[in-house]
Amino acid sequence: MSPIIVIFALYLHDFSFDDIVKKINELSTIKTEAAEYLTVYYRKLGKYEKSLEIIDRAILLDPEKMESKFTKATVFMELRKYKEAIDVFKDLLEKDKSLWGVSTNMATCYFYLGEEKNENEEYDKAIINYYKAIEIINNLIEEMIKHESKNS
């Protein structure tokens, strides 16, 4: 059964969101999808360390799921742990270079590192990664146009 259905069913039976979180945490094998919902919940509460703990559990369950790793990197960004976020983003890009959102977020991390350190090298990395994101988007658009013209 889908974790979102379980969450919704508990909600319909007047469980508070805290009770729903507790119930899901009691499951011996938390599903990655449920972990991602819990991560969003804890992020909204500003409990980023708890959010990281849960997303790490999701990554252990499904190490190949890139969305969980992306979520982990964005939590690192919210914590202003830019180097840690960059490490996760680099890992994602090694697996799939077409992820323009990863390049954009990595560029943002480099930008903020440059501000913190007042170093031009970090700004240069930011510009390079923004350029890579734009290049990926342009390639995707070209592929869409080719696909559309073949189907017309």
Per residue in 89-141, pLDDT tens?
Answer: 999 989 988 887 888 888 888 888 877 666 667 767 777 777 777 777 777 77
Judge whether residue 75 has pLDDT over 70. Answer: yes
Start-to-end Cα distance in the chain: 41
Query: pLDDT at position 120, please?
Result: 67
Higher pLDDT, 84 or 31: 84
CA distance linking residue 81 with residue 15, whole number of Å:
35
Cβ partners under 8 Å of residue 140, min gap 6: 98, 100
Q: How many CB atoms lie within 10 A of CB 131?
A: 12
Instruction: Calculate what percentage of the chain has a pLDDT beyond 70.
Output: 74
pLDDT-derived band at 74 (thresholds 50, 70, 90) equals: very high
Query: pLDDT at position 69, please?
Result: 93
At 4, the amino acid letter reads I
Query: pLDDT at position 19, please?
Result: 67
DSSP assignment of 91-110? HHHHH-TT-HHHHHHHHHHH
Average pLDDT of the segment spanning 27-47: 75
**3-state SS assignment for residue 132:** helix
CA distance linking residue 129 with residue 71, whole number of Å:
19
Higher pLDDT, 147 or 104: 104
CA distance linking residue 115 with residue 78, whole number of Å:
16
Q: pTM of the predicted model, to two decimals?
A: 0.66
